[in-house]
């Protein structure tokens, strides 16, 4: 005998309650294996392939490519062999597991305890209890073969081109219409919301980076951005009032651990993957984590959890040739640092009779804050602490890195 199983869109958490169907990977009538990728979807944060929770034959698509589906709505019906799976919608999803703190690498794990998550059976839609997830990973859903699973099991898909990048992309058309969906739509909403709601205030300082640049030139693959980011993280950890988020419900949440967001211009739009527990990273660990996140962002292989847990952000406008910028805050966060291009500039060095003008490597650092949470004194203190790290500690950190066995 056979049984019909309906695979519904699981709850992604992080406030994401829908996804766009990009393309189907299995046609109606086609046989599929358990865990075989069946559909490519795009949320506002990630482009993913969903594996099938059942082996059998695809019977019906419930939505077409290009359409948007809400959490809990049916994706596809699969004709399977008779098994022990529950076949009545609304069946109990089982006991609620106990919440435990999660620890691990700065790329994939959160350090905060999470609210209990009620597992959701595939085919039975979302319940109110399935929205709290660790690190933004999709809520648990159950299969016969592996038991509890998270959306991290979904494999990243190839990146989608959303806007023309050169004249050839237009073909014979004079213009193209680009729907504001997925990452592009989320970017538009986030930036508009932040610009409207947050009280943006910026201050900047120029910094002599000569000693830092001399140090990093001796370490292949080490970017001065890593040391600037490390300085920002140390300053935020020392002055946690800037490592805060606006909740919108009459409170501010101040974080002990620093989740460093790294703004990346990806082919799909602006994304901000996060190095969790960045305040616990040494130079080598932070460098490796940032490099991997940037590579995955540009390849379109970030997961939902890669984009969760940020508390403060750095954006490198210098990589685009800009000497400075006044960035827009990530919604809810208290601060973002813009890093300009390192330029050769005349600079006064020395003191007293030894004072003179020399050509030095100089960078402009701009700290934008939400003035609802951060006053000018705190912003100046944090910026000063960052610069003190660059001038006094960063060259030594690089020296210890090169001296390590």
| pLDDT tens digits, 232-260 | 999 999 999 999 999 988 899 999 999 99
Q: What percent of the chain has pLDDT over 90?
A: 50
Average pLDDT, integer, range 22-31: 90
Question: What's the CA gap between 120 and 9, in Å, rounded?
Answer: 11
Better pLDDT: 183 or 54:
54
Average pLDDT, integer, range 204-211: 96
Residue 112 has pLDDT above 50, yes or no: no
Q: What is the pLDDT of residue 106?
A: 63
- The rounded Cα 64 to chain-centroid distance in angstroms is 28
For the entire predicted model, the pTM comes to 0.69
Better pLDDT: 385 or 217:
385
Q: What is the pLDDT of residue 175?
A: 82
Better pLDDT: 208 or 14:
208
> Would you state the structure tokens that stand for residue 156, as one six-digit string?
């990243």
| Pairing status of strand 269-271 against strand 274-275 | unpaired
Question: What's the CA gap between 305 and 296, in Å, rounded?
Answer: 13
Please say if 282 is a catalytic residue: no
Question: What's the CA gap between 22 and 395, in Å, rounded?
Answer: 47
Q: What is the pLDDT of residue 312?
A: 97
Please say if 255 is a catalytic residue: no
200: how many CB neighbours lie within 10 A of its CB? 16
Average pLDDT, integer, range 373-401: 95
Task: Name the residue with tokens 């402009």.
Answer: 364
Residue 43 has pLDDT above 80, yes or no: no
The tens digit of pLDDT for each residue in 276-292 reads 999 999 999 999 999 99
| Pairing status of strand 141-143 against strand 18-24 | unpaired
Residue 187 has pLDDT above 90, yes or no: no
- The most confident of the ranges 42-56, 60-74, 98-112, 355-369 is 355-369
CB 80 within 8 A of CB 55: yes
Q: How confident is the model at residue 83 (pLDDT cuts 50, 70, 90)?
A: very low
Residue 192 has pLDDT above 70, yes or no: yes
CB 28 within 8 A of CB 59: yes
Residue 231 has pLDDT above 80, yes or no: yes
Enumerate domains of the chain plus CATH numbers. 2-156 (2.40.50.100), 182-403 (3.30.559.10)
Q: What is the pLDDT of residue 404?
A: 66
Residue 95 has pLDDT above 80, yes or no: no
Q: What is the pLDDT of residue 294?
A: 94
Q: What is the pLDDT of residue 12?
A: 59
Q: What is the pLDDT of residue 344?
A: 96
Contacts of 349 (CB under 8 A, 6+ apart): 208, 355, 356, 357, 358, 360
Better pLDDT: 7 or 149:
7
Better pLDDT: 146 or 151:
151
Mean pLDDT score of the chain: 79
| Pairing status of strand 74-81 against strand 47-51 | unpaired
Q: What is the pLDDT of residue 139?
A: 30
Average pLDDT, integer, range 111-128: 32
Average pLDDT, integer, range 383-404: 92
Question: What's the CA gap between 26 and 50, in Å, rounded?
Answer: 11
Pick the closest to residue 114 from 34, 29, 13, 212 (CA basis).
Answer: 13
Q: What is the pLDDT of residue 159?
A: 42
Instruction: Say which of 62, 200, 239, 371 is annotated catalytic.
Output: 371
Instruction: Say which of 169, 282, 375, 392 is annotated catalytic.
Output: 375
């Amino acid at each position: 005998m056979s049984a019909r199983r309906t695979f519904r869109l699981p709850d992604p958490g992080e406030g994401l309650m829908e996804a766009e169907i990009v393309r189907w990977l299995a046609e109606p009538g086609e046989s599929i294996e358990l865990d075989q990728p069946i559909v490519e979807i795009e949320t506002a944060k990630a482009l993913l392939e969903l594996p099938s929770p059942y082996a059998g034959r695809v019977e019906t698509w419930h939505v077409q490519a290009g359409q948007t589906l809400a959490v809990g709505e049916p994706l596809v019906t699969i004709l399977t062999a008779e098994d022990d799976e529950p076949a009545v919608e609304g069946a109990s999803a089982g006991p609620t597991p106990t919440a435990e703190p999660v620890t691990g690498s700065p790329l994939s794990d959160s350090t905060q305890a999470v609210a209990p998550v009620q597992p959701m059976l595939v085919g039975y839609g979302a319940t109110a209890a399935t929205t709290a997830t660790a690190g933004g990973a999709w809520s648990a859903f159950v299969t016969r073969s592996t038991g509890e699973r998270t959306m991290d099991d979904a494999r990243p898909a190839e990146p989608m081109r959303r806007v023309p990048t050169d004249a050839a992309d237009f073909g014979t058309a004079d213009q193209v219409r680009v729907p504001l969906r997925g990452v592009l739509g989320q970017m538009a909403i986030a930036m508009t919301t932040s610009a409207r709601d947050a009280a943006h205030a910026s201050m900047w300082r120029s910094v002599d980076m000569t000693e830092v640049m001399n140090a990093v030139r001796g370490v292949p693959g080490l970017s001065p951005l890593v040391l600037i980011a490390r300085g920002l993280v140390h300053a935020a950890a020392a002055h946690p009032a800037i490592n805060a988020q606006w909740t919108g419900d009459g409170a501010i949440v101040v974080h002990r651990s620093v989740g460093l967001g790294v703004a990346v211009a990806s082919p799909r739009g602006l994304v901000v993957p996060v190095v969790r527990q960045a305040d616990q990273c040494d130079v080598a660990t932070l460098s490796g984590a940032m490099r991997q996140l940037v590579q995955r962002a540009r390849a379109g292989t970030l997961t939902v959890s890669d984009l969760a847990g940020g508390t403060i952000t750095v954006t490198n406008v210098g990589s685009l040739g800009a000497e400075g910028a006044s960035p827009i805050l990530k919604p809810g966060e208290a601060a973002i640092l813009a890093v300009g291009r390192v330029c050769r500039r005349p600079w006064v060095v020395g003191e007293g009779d030894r004072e003179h003008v020399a050509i030095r490597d100089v960078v402009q650092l701009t700290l934008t804050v939400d003035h609802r949470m951060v006053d000018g004194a705190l912003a100046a203190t944090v910026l000063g602490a960052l610069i003190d790290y660059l001038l006094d500690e960063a060259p030594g950190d690089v020296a210890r890195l090169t001296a390590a066995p």
